[in-house]
Amino acid sequence: MPALQPLPGHLVGGNFLLTETNPSLVFTPEDITAEQRLMAQTAEKFMDKQVLLRLEALEHQEAGVMPGLFQKAGELGLLGMEVPADYGGLGLGKTSLLGVEEQFTRLGGFGVTCGAHCGIGTHPLLYFGTEEQKRKYLGKLATGEWMGAYALSEAGSGSDALGMRTKAVLSPDGRHYILNGTKMWISNSAWAELFILFAKVNGQHVTAFLVERGFPGVSTGKEEHKLGIKSSSTRRVILEDAQVPVENLLGGVGKGAYIAFNILNAGRFKLGAGAVGAAKESLKGAARYALERQQFGRPLASFGLIQHKLGEMAVQIFAAESAVYRTAAMMEAVFETGETLDSTSPPFPRGLDEFALECSVIKIACSEILDGVTDEALQIHGGYGYTEEFPAARASRDSRINRIFEGTNEINRLFIPGLLLRRAQRGRLPLVEAMTQVSKELLSLPPLEEAASGDELAPARALVSNAKRLVLFLSGLAYQKFGDKLVDEQEVAASLSDIIIGIYLAESALLRTAKSRARGRTARVQGDLALAYVNDAVGQWELESRNVLAALSEGDDLRMQLGLVRRLLRWTPLNGVTLRRGIARRLCEVGSYGALFAAA
């Protein structure tokens, strides 16, 4: 691989663990432009006036309803935002997508349909296709004339995607590849006209193909009876001596894994961004119900435990949203460099790879936060929440798939420390040096900084800095014991990942708040949300650290190391009850998460 050009520190994937980021460099929801806001408003109006009014028809998959609405979204330009204008799209960056993604996922199945099409159903062609392939297909995908799908998984190879059995052999006349096999759980399969499909050439070389629905030998199975996302289509794609023209091979023989895994980085990010939108929708419904529902002569929203739930939902969404917007802008900035990571065919943008770690963080955190939000929203609705009379039941069912999509959360948790080690070994991240330096510094580590006058964020930011030192220390110990087999110690790797995830979200929330205050905004509610997140995260970091150390050490070494954990994570608890009650009261006053920050 050619030497990579140096990037600013905040644009190096994983480098947030080794350095501190200036708040001015972080993109936040408060930074979106008027044009980006208008795109989100267009999507919101489309959802309100057309999609959600056809809710029952969509959920029962009435013929023609989803394809018709999908095409209308394309006519509005909402499906081709990342596709260059030369190919019929709008040519916009990652930050412009966020508001639209959030709107689509207000109905889980609709969000899956559009998200799978715009992301993993289009990105392989966009980033790895030849000029001829792009000219032939991208315009149809960008405008919604055709729907795209991504066909990787099989019955025996879900997480182990490279264990696929679908086979491709070149026809005797050399004009076609003949494909045989079955792909499972393929989103959009009832309606898609183009499948990004993976098979092993001669049973050995994982390769991507552009497979049209109308090619001979291509068919789909019956609709799966799913727990949720019922308005989306999920079927098998069946290949029986399917004839795929040789010009529809994507990226070269044996390049399929290379394509699949890089595309999944972007897919994980898009999934996380959509989960934030779905969580906001659930919180809005829960707050409305809590205000309207009377118990014991009082609104539910007046009770402490309901206020805790509403406040906690907002806290989690704030941290997730802050991380998503931060990551979107970093990805966009690296894409704009135009740098590629491989000089051989096909080269692909560095922006697809650079933030693979952050994309996994986003995927895990946002999918689990959405699950928590929808569960609490259902609980606030009580018995009504368990019926289909209110949307809480559907939202809870729809959310569950996100922890499985785009690589299970377990696979992504193992990916994070593994990627850090690989980046270190390839010289892309000075991780080993940082771990060594932290180990030397620990014995002379200064205590947490006291808050500067009027700066209540200072102790929290100092705590996050110490949490970074802690996870580097733990990672160093784990690597010393297990070496390259660290990822095989799955429980230890997962605990390290959970600390890293919490650090990234906590830091993103604090940086967002600090940036707002530096611009002269009061940011009172932002401060409460960020501090409430950190206040709880420290306990989780300590628990995971204890789990890691107990698996690595014993006796006096363990006791000494546990003392270092307590020292690094020394934190005076904040009054979480007061913080969440205040957040909940404001939420009920303004009616939605998005309105929390208006003049606040």
Catalytic center residues: 406
Distance CA 242, CA 177 (A): 8
Which two tokens mark 70?
């999908």
Q: How many CA atoms lie within 13 A of 114 on its CB side?
A: 30
593: DSSP letter: G
Q: Which residues pair with 149 in a beta bridge?
A: 195
Amino acid in the structure at residue 37 = R
| Contact in structure between 90 and 122 (CB atoms under 8 Å) | no
Main-chain dihedrals φ then ψ at residue 105, nearest 5 degrees: -80, 5
Residue reference for tokens 């135009």: 338
The HSE-up count of residue 508 (CA atoms within 13 Å, CB side) is: 29
* Tokens read off for 340: 């590629």
Q: Cβ atoms within 10 A of the Cβ of 317, count?
A: 25
Neighbour tally for 456: CB within 10 Å: 14
573: number of Cβ within 10 Å = 9
Q: Confirm if 588 and 310 have CB atoms less than 8 A apart.
A: yes
Question: What is the bridge-based pairing of β-strands 249-250 and 294-295?
Answer: unpaired
**Encoded amino acid at 544, one letter:** E
Residue recorded with tokens 């929808």: 374
Task: Give the orientation angle of helix 131-143 with respect to helix 65-75, to 10 degrees.
Answer: 110
Tokens representing 167? 């086979």
382 burial type by CB count under 10 A (0-12 exposed, 13-18 middle, 19+ buried)? middle
Q: What angle do CA 527, 529, 533 make, to 5 degrees?
A: 115
Q: Which two tokens stand for residue 44?
A: 């919101």
| For helices 256-292 and 94-104, angle between their N-to-C axes, nearest 10 degrees | 50
CB 64 within 8 A of CB 57: no
Select from 318, 204, 319, 181 the least CA-distant residue to 253.
Answer: 204
CA distances from 491 to 178, 470, 488, 550 (A): 42, 18, 9, 11
